[in-house]
Structure 1
Amino acid sequence: MRVLHTSDWHLGQSFYGKSRFEEHQAFLGWLLEQVREHSIDALIVAGDVFDTGTPPSYARALYNQFVVQMQRLACPMFILGGNHDSVAMLAESQSLLSCLNTYVVPNGTSAEQSTFIINDKNGQPGLVLAAVPYLRPRDLIRSEAGQTGQDKQQQLGDAIRDYYHSHYELALAKATELGADAPLPVVMTGHLTTVGATSSESVREIYIGSLDAFNANAFPPASYIALGHIHRGQLVAGSEAIRYSGSPIPLSFDEVSRSKQVLLAHFDEQALVKVESLAVPMYQKLMVVKGLLGEVEAELAKLVAMDESVWVSIALGSDELLSDLQQRLQAQVADSQVQVLQIKRLRSQRQLSAIDTGETLSELSVDEVFSRRLASEPYTEDEQLRLTALFKQVSMAAMEAPEA
């Protein structure tokens, strides 16, 4: 059995005012080729299919077209809701898509409704999937009078652990029933932050004030756990069987140094055999240029001479104030395929500017606004930690306050 694991597509993302349509379209075409070439038995998308709960129409069209193309390949697809996804939007086509061999789990539900038998190419049961999406705290726990922040953190962590174990137990029972000499492999999914996972600028904290990260040791002993939410592909707790696939395209400039991938998990009749990384091609070149102004201008000149499309973030290593800095850099790349999307100070975060980001406050979460404002001030690491903890307390209190 071969299962392809991907996540965090973020269809519809606006990147400093730039559409990612062509990149996503190219990636989805490439992904279809991988399904064909590797004779995939199931495709798992572990959350954040869309970038927002109200994606643009072209993003929804890409999604629907991909579902139709996958159905033609006779490969079942399993879509898990992420923290960016709208439960209502994913659920509205749930029944229809099930007729097209695509199974959507938009939010937490009973184990019976989110356990699937995946057949091999001969039509025989090959493995059991316990599909776990992003678990919203309000669906798992209720606040109680007198609870401390630590109490709530423990309560949510326990609730997520219990959810995983109850779903695993049902999946294992089915795997045991269907296996010949031993249980079939059990695959689980998830969309959350785990202890020790390395995130990037584009990853939003999803359990603000309640749970910093889920302890990977609390996962049940599934054959493979396909995770989403963290955009950098990585193993969890050093385990080959618990992995983030990462996003298929860079979603922030701090991701450009990492190669992008989807994961191909191979199973025999009883267990995981190996996990193979399939490198996703880069469809839009992104680059971070660092240095003093003269060095930056020299690097931009080289990029212009290359005559290829490049989106650039500039990190200046000087605090010198130049009133015409943006105009000066924009003039250098004018009439070329190089576009400077961001300028920031390398040494001092106090002076931060961006060129034509196209972002408005309505597009940012409260957490993102706080994080960016904090980064712009010269606080020490201890001061940043103290202010972050205070912000989490205030956020938690605001969420718990009764509506007027």
Structure 2
Amino acid sequence: MKIIHTSDWHLGQGFIGKSREAEHKAFLNWLLNQVTEKQIDAVIVAGDIFDTGTPPSYARTLYNEFIVSMHKIGCQLVVLGGNHDSVATLNETESLLSCLGTYVIGGVKADLNDQVILLNDHTKQPGAILCGIPFIRPKDVLDSVAGQTGSEKQKALIQAMAGHFMAIFDIAEQKRKQLGGELPIISTGHLTTLASSRTESVREIYVGTLESFPSDKLPPAGYIALGHIHKPMSVSGKEHIRYCGSPIPLSFDELNHKKQVIMVEFEGANVKHIEPLYIPRSQAMYRIEGSLTSIEHQLQNIAVELSSTDNTAWVEVEVSTDDYLSDLQQKILDMCSDAPIEIIKVKRKKATTLQLKSEKPKQSLSELTPKDVFQKRLEQEQLEPADIESLTSTFDSVVAEVLAGEKTDVGNSNGVAK
């Protein structure tokens, strides 16, 4: 039995004004080729098929065409809902897609048996049992209890989520016993574990007040296919618990990731082989930083790299300069006006400011005034002087109004007419 574990496609993502349609189409075509070449029996998508609950029509078209193609080559597909997905949008075609060998679990089911799927191998015989667990929302597993403290709510939520994982796993075990006891059990999940890390494009998800789920509360499945984190990684050093990551870089800070899907081969009830299949990048993307001189050299090098291709690179630039340059954006654009390069984003890094920050001792919030906090927050933004002046003036006005209101409240509490 062979499966491919993938997740976080984010079909329909808008990327700083750019469409990812061509990249996603290239990925899906590549994935179909891998399914055929590797003789894959099932593909599992562990959440975030779409980037929003109302994906654009081209994203739905890519999704539907992929499902039809998977049906034509005889490979099963399992789609789990993620935090970006709309349960209703995914479920609206659930019964129709089941006729094409695609299983859709957009959200937690009322009948937990509906989250246990028997997958067939290439001989059409039972090959694995899947515990299909999508992104879990608090209302799916827990009733609200009045009077609980924050820590009590978190503890109750962890227990409820762990209970849901184990309830599905117990049903899968019962089914395995009925079928002879030699089938692997695969579980899924779309969540943040304590051992995982985020990138700029990962939206922080909280199940209630719970930011991350303890990995030791996951079920004892033979393989656990996780989604939500865009960086491929195993969890807590366990090779059978994995995030496969997103198939394309969804932000510039993902450029150093080796984008991949995970191929897992089972022998009997056990994992025989786990192998990442690396995804070729169809869109050239770069993230460069340094002085203006350094930036110019780096852009020239990128142009040389692209000279033998028809590709146009998307570039994020972070410039280190102590000088305020009102025409910084234009200076960068002029550097590559004749090259196949699109400057997607320009950021400033104030070298002196960063140096002073590193030299300053850490301060607690109690040592700072509201104005201090406001100024520190402004330092984190790349703003023009006029914008800083305007925001500071507005802040001062708001603080003055608040202080005036406090004095009025104190006067009224003492019975003094105002």
Aligned equivalents of 1:338 and 1:151: distance in 2?
53
In the alignment, is residue 332 of structure 1 matched against residue 335 of structure 2?
A: yes
In the alignment, is residue 283 of structure 1 matched against residue 286 of structure 2?
A: no
Contact 1:318/1:345 (CA < 8 Å) preserved in 2?
A: yes
In the alignment, is residue 213 of structure 1 matched against residue 216 of structure 2?
A: no
Contact 2:137/2:207 (CA < 8 Å) preserved in 1?
A: no
Aligned equivalents of 1:169 and 1:26: distance in 2?
39
Aligned equivalents of 1:121 and 1:67: distance in 2?
18
Shift of 1:208: 6.5
- 1:161 is matched with 162
Structure 1 portions without partners, runs of 5+: 352-372, 380-404
Contact 1:149/1:209 (CA < 8 Å) preserved in 2?
A: no
- 1:26 is matched with 26
Shift of 1:349: 12
Of all paired residues, the percent bearing the same amino acid is 47
Aligned equivalents of 2:352 and 2:87: distance in 1?
37
Aligned equivalents of 1:246 and 1:230: distance in 2?
6
- 2:410 is matched with none
**Range that drifts further, 150-159 or 260-269:** 150-159
User: Judging changes above 3 Å, is the alpha-carbon distance between structure 1 residues 225 and 350 closer, same or farther for their aligned structure 2 residues?
Assistant: farther
Shift of 1:345: 2.8
Which deviations, in whole Å up to 9, do the C-alpha atoms of 1:18-59 show, x marking residues without a partner?
000000000000000000001111110000000011111000
What RMSD in Å do the two structures reach over aligned CA positions?
2.0
- 1:311 is matched with 314
SS of 2:193 mapped into structure 1? coil
Contact 2:195/2:236 (CA < 8 Å) preserved in 1?
A: yes
- 1:83 is matched with 83
- 2:148 is matched with 147
Contact 1:232/1:245 (CA < 8 Å) preserved in 2?
A: yes
SS of 2:97 mapped into structure 1? helix
- 2:70 is matched with 70
SS of 1:195 mapped into structure 2? coil
Contact 1:2/1:40 (CA < 8 Å) preserved in 2?
A: yes
- 1:273 is matched with 272
Amino acid at match of 2:146: A
Aligned equivalents of 1:252 and 1:349: distance in 2?
27
Shift of 1:343: 1.5
Aligned equivalents of 1:143 and 1:323: distance in 2?
54
Which deviations, in whole Å up to 9, do the C-alpha atoms of 1:186-207 show, x marking residues without a partner?
0010100001102211111110
Aligned equivalents of 1:163 and 1:257: distance in 2?
35
Shift of 1:67: 0.4
Aligned equivalents of 2:179 and 2:351: distance in 1?
61
- 1:45 is matched with 45
Amino acid at match of 2:193: T
Aligned equivalents of 2:283 and 2:234: distance in 1?
26
Aligned equivalents of 1:59 and 1:272: distance in 2?
34
- 2:54 is matched with 54
SS of 1:112 mapped into structure 2? helix
Aligned equivalents of 2:174 and 2:119: distance in 1?
15
Contact 2:322/2:352 (CA < 8 Å) preserved in 1?
A: no
Aligned equivalents of 2:208 and 2:293: distance in 1?
44
Aligned equivalents of 1:38 and 1:32: distance in 2?
10
- 2:193 is matched with 194
Contact 1:317/1:345 (CA < 8 Å) preserved in 2?
A: yes
Amino acid at match of 2:4: L
**Range that drifts further, 213-222 or 293-302:** 293-302
Contact 1:319/1:345 (CA < 8 Å) preserved in 2?
A: no
Contact 2:136/2:207 (CA < 8 Å) preserved in 1?
A: no
**Range that drifts further, 327-336 or 100-109:** 327-336
User: Judging changes above 3 Å, is the alpha-carbon distance between structure 1 residues 374 and 211 closer, same or farther for their aligned structure 2 residues?
Assistant: farther
Shift of 1:303: 2.1
SS of 1:321 mapped into structure 2? coil
In the alignment, is residue 131 of structure 1 matched against residue 132 of structure 2?
A: yes
Q: TM-score, normalised by structure 1?
A: 0.84
Amino acid at match of 1:168: F
SS of 1:319 mapped into structure 2? coil
Structure 2 portions without partners, runs of 5+: 355-374, 382-418
Amino acid at match of 1:192: L
SS of 2:104 mapped into structure 1? strand
Shift of 1:10: 0.4
- 2:396 is matched with none
Aligned equivalents of 1:134 and 1:376: distance in 2?
36
Amino acid at match of 2:196: A
Amino acid at match of 1:202: S
Shift of 1:97: 0.3
- 1:119 is matched with 120
Contact 2:320/2:350 (CA < 8 Å) preserved in 1?
A: yes
- 2:242 is matched with 243
User: Judging changes above 3 Å, is the alpha-carbon distance between structure 1 residues 287 and 77 closer, same or farther for their aligned structure 2 residues?
Assistant: same
Shift of 1:376: 5.9
Amino acid at match of 1:142: D
